[in-house]
Amino acid sequence: MQFLFIVFLFSALLFGTELSIASYNVENLFDAKFQGSEYDDYTPGKHNWNERTAKIKLRNTAEVICDINSDIIGLQEIENRYVFDELKKLLKIVGCEYRYSAITTKPFSSVQIALLSRHPVISQKELIVSPSYKIRNILEVAIDVDSNPITVFVNHWKSKSSGGKESARVKTAAVLAQRIVKLNSNSEYVIIGDLNSKHDAPNSLEPALNDTGGITAIGDIIHTYKDSTSIVKSQIIKLPKGFHYNLWNELPANKRWSHSFKSQKGAIDHIITPPSLFNGHGIEYKDNTFSVFAPRYLLNKYGGINRWKIKNGNHAGSGYSDHLPIIAFFTTKPFKIIKNQQSIIPKRQIEYLYEIESLTSDILLENATVLWARRNIAIIKQTTTGRGILLYKCQKGLKVGNKYDIIVNEIKNYKGLKEITSISASKPKGISNIIPFFKNNKSLNSSLNQNEILKDMVGVYKNHKIHFINGRSLPIFFKIKNFTIKDNSKVKILYGHLGYYKGVEIVIYDKNDIEIME
């Protein structure tokens, strides 16, 4: 007997216990019973929400959880204990049983927060943020992993939709931070869930939602961002109590997303770790194991998320969630660095982006001036004689005439047009004189590249081209509905974007950007 115990102890020290922790916002796992607190779209008997569609949604959710196969998984947007129990029954039937679980009980709330575990639950409690049914509680669950206790905080912070200001998330984060302060300094815990905040928030906080003077829940209250771009993993153990390391830092910029809203990809689901998971004792993070769970069936043909479909206001009975699950691995073996995250973001010029097809890591564009913006795009340049580049659906908060240091995450070519499609930080550097950045009639003899802005240039329109006074001509394309112009009309281009389609062409986005002179 003693020999067997020694063998077991030796094996545990040699191989350690492996533990996986995941988080998944399942997007409205509702039943087909009327409680009165459900969202209108999920009211039984309306919008094709019924027993059949509810069972499909339940089955699809179970499929994802079973495929993730995580030892512990936090879930967001579970309607109530009844549908949670139905989910557990189905998981058991298909061979993915979880013996232990926990769920919040917020009265009158449309959705609850839950957790499934294959390790025993020691205790559970709810951290009450507000009596309002609109603000969700935080689920705190203590779990025994082979005599190693770890606490999991499962979160679902206030959404940014419908004017969700940052103060609401700060309030929730403050309750969590106050609880963490009361833990033993060596307590092992992990923060998971849908925090509705990007990993690089303070720098990505939308101005319209900033009612806190720039203070952010995830960055300033939970302390996941302060100088995190320069923290290497060997220094995590030196972080003060209450400071954390966000596992999104391990992924390259173009992989940093788990959710898509209005075609904007973002990393709003999180697994956040304290220094105690890097200290060589108890449960440790297993380096470089954080990932987004994205099998082909969870993605649509465009590379977006294959979410639960509602067509013409009715449930179609197909799809999954509008979030992708995230997962990380832990072990009882001491933490060992396999790969450090990028510690210093390299500085580059815009010209560099025209030499490459994609980014494998973030780059920094210093002193980039915003010289023009229309709809969901903008043009930036670093120097008056250098190249310009287009920002596509990522220019929120940037103002024309201002200069910024911009961290670029992702670029792409769209039919030959070079675009920046994701930025994670934009540091204001003051106001810039934008007049010298424009191209005009005087500079027509110089080379004209894509992503320049033409200003106050006069020419004659004929055969879908503008013929300038020096004999040069360029194709022109109007992104204006019902806009016509007669051949041989003399025109003045007040603002024109030099786009690209089978060659450089002038693109006009607004009728006020062109003047018909005669």
Euclidean distance between CA atoms 117 and 141, whole angstroms: 10
Q: To the nearest whole percent, how much of the chain has pLDDT over 90?
A: 71
The pLDDT of 426-440, averaged and rounded, is 91
Q: What pairing do the DSSP bridges indicate for beta strands 269-273 and 245-246? A: antiparallel
Query: 72 forms bridges with which residues in the sheet?
Result: 21, 117
- pTM, entire model: 0.77
pLDDT, tens digit, 9 for 90 and up, residues 141-174 = 999 999 999 999 999 999 988 778 999 999 999 9
Q: Both tokens of residue 397?
A: 């908060």
Whole-angstrom distance, CA of residue 224 vs CA of residue 271: 11
pLDDT band at residue 342 using 50, 70 and 90 as cut-offs: low
Residue pointed to by tokens 């459900």: 38
Specify the amino acid at residue 378. Answer: A
Compare 481 and 431 and report the one with higher pLDDT: 431
**Which tokens belong to 5?**
């115990």
| pLDDT the model gives residue 8 | 46
Task: Average the pLDDT over 196-225 and give the result.
Answer: 86
Residue 204 scores a pLDDT above 80? no
CATH-assigned architecture of domain 438-516: Beta Barrel (2.40)
CB contact set of 19 (below 8 Å; sequence gap of 6+): 71, 72, 119, 145, 150, 283, 329, 330, 331
Please check whether residue 402 is in contact with residue 386, taking contact to mean a CB–CB distance below 8 angstroms. Answer: no
Q: Domain boundaries in the chain?
A: 16-331, 347-436, 438-516
Q: How far apart are CA 421 and CA 408, in angstroms?
A: 8
Confidence of residue 441 (pLDDT cuts 50, 70, 90): confident
Same fold yes or no, 347-436 and 438-516: yes
Please state which of the four CATH numbers 2.40.50.200, 1.10.15.40, 2.60.40.10, 3.40.50.300 is assigned to the domain occupying 347-436.
2.40.50.200
Answer yes or no: CATH 3.60.10.10 is held by domain 16-331.
yes
Q: What is the mean pLDDT of the chain?
A: 90
pLDDT of 241-266, one tens digit each?
999 999 998 887 778 899 987 667 88
Helix and strand numbers (H, E) in the chain are 5, 31
